[in-house]
Structure 1
């Protein structure tokens, strides 16, 4: 049994980490428990009714509340730190690959195996996308949002598609990106606008509408000469609405990476706001490539996305 006993990042990172564990577990007949999914479990059909956050889903399950889930997480953290079980700490000094690491050799098949570390954060898992693709349908089925979110998303997308030919989702990540990696991927609204105008020019004879989702309130005047609609401003509904778009644009972020994976939609990660876009710049999740830049200060290690 594999137990994810430490948290890594926010929603997108937790989903990608969990998904990669599920793919590995399906390949090797393991069970996964993910106490570290506690804050987000209530949003998804499978985990909302199972406080263990277990894959495969158990025959008998019990929903949990925030207090139970927090206790469950803290209890597993203490077990992982106790030294009585097999605990594997994944360092963030190089990209991770199940087959090329010695992790598999450290697993004890008939025991609890606790995992700590930023195992699949951002681009650390790019060598594992083949497994994600192979088990993609099962993973997507597991991470279906609750019906109420699906209904809100369907209503939003339907209303947009009735009046457009091409729908492009745009993730304007500001807020925390002012400080993240020293602001490497923080862009002003006018810079996003430049990228959006370049994307619109790819479809000269079609009506293009942008679905704008942001973690910071935007000035409507910034985009007034474009056809656009704002998302519902909900962490799940925005992410899964992006997954329903024809194309997705955003800075390097696990949030849009998950939308790209879940919806099987091509994604363009903004690295140069002055670039004239081409359709080939939008790539599917199984095509992601990048260069890993290591720094002795792990918080400054980063992926430079190249494709």
Structure 2
């Protein structure tokens, strides 16, 4: 049994972390328990009805609530740090992947294995991507949102599609990105407008509508030169609405990358706001390649995407 006993970033990171564990467990006949999915469990059909957040799902699961989930997470944190069980710590000095790490030798079959640390979620760029692809269908099925969110997403996308030819989702990440990695990927609205204009030019004979999803409210006048619609301003509905777009644009972020993975839609991650886009700049999740540059300050260790 593999227990994810430490939290890792926000929604996108937790989803990718879980996905990597599910793929590994599927390959090696393990069970995954994910108490660290606490805050997001109630959004998804499989985890909402199971406070253990267990994979594979069990037929006799018990639904949880915020209090139960928080209590259960704290118990697992205590057990992981108690020294009574096999606890595997993932260091942040380099990306972890199941395929090339000696850590897998520390696993004890037939026992509980607690995992702490989170840089292994970055393995999706290079080494473990084939397993994510192989088990993608069951991962997507497990992380289907609740029906009410699915219906809201379907209604939004259907309304847009009835009036346009191409939908391009735009993830404007403000808020926390102003401080994240010293604002390296914090782009002004004016920067996003440049990228949107370049993207629109790729479809000269079609009507392009932009679906704008952001963690901050913006001035409507900023987008007056485009056909655009705002997302529903809901953490799950925006992510899964992006997954239904034809193309996705956003800064380097696991939020839009999960949308790309889940919806199997090509994504352009903005690294140069002045770049003239080509259609080949939109890359499917399984095509991503990158190099990791570690830093003594773990918060400054970064990926440099090469494709």
TM-score > 0.5 by shorter chain: yes
TM-score for both structures, normalised by structure 2: 0.98
Write the mapping of 1:111-260 to structure 2, written as runs, cut at 5 A. 111-122=111-122, 126-260=126-260
Residue 126 of structure 1: how far off its partner (Å): 3.0
1:55 aligns to 2:68 (yes or no): no
1-structure distance, mates of 2:258, 2:237: 13
Name whichever of 20-29 and 92-101 sits farther off: 92-101
| Count of matched residue pairs | 307
| 2:264–2:285 contact (8 Å) kept in structure 1 | yes
Partner-residue secondary structure (3-state), 1:216: coil
1:38 aligns to 2:70 (yes or no): no
| 2:20–2:121 contact (8 Å) kept in structure 1 | no
1:66 aligns to 2:83 (yes or no): no
Q: Structure 1: any 5+ residue segments left out of the alignment? A: none
1-structure distance, mates of 2:91, 2:305: 21
**Cα-Cα RMSD:** 0.9
The verdict on how the C-alpha distance between 1:221 and 1:120 changes in structure 2, with shifts beyond 3 A counting, is farther
Write the mapping of 1:269-284 to structure 2, written as runs, cut at 5 A. 269-284=269-284
Residue 95 of structure 1: how far off its partner (Å): 1.8
Q: Structure 2: any 5+ residue segments left out of the alignment? A: none
| 1:96–1:124 contact (8 Å) kept in structure 2 | no
| 1:96–1:125 contact (8 Å) kept in structure 2 | no
The verdict on how the C-alpha distance between 1:120 and 1:257 changes in structure 2, with shifts beyond 3 A counting, is farther
2-structure distance, mates of 1:97, 1:42: 28
Residue 119 of structure 1: how far off its partner (Å): 3.2
Partner-residue secondary structure (3-state), 1:168: strand
Partner-residue secondary structure (3-state), 1:40: helix
TM-score for both structures, normalised by structure 1: 0.98
Residue 262 of structure 1: how far off its partner (Å): 0.3
Name whichever of 115-124 and 210-219 sits farther off: 115-124
Partner-residue secondary structure (3-state), 2:186: coil
| 1:171–1:249 contact (8 Å) kept in structure 2 | yes
1-structure distance, mates of 2:284, 2:95: 20
2-structure distance, mates of 1:113, 1:147: 33
Partner-residue secondary structure (3-state), 1:38: helix
| 2:97–2:127 contact (8 Å) kept in structure 1 | yes
| 1:91–1:117 contact (8 Å) kept in structure 2 | yes
| 1:168–1:249 contact (8 Å) kept in structure 2 | yes
2-structure distance, mates of 1:36, 1:68: 13
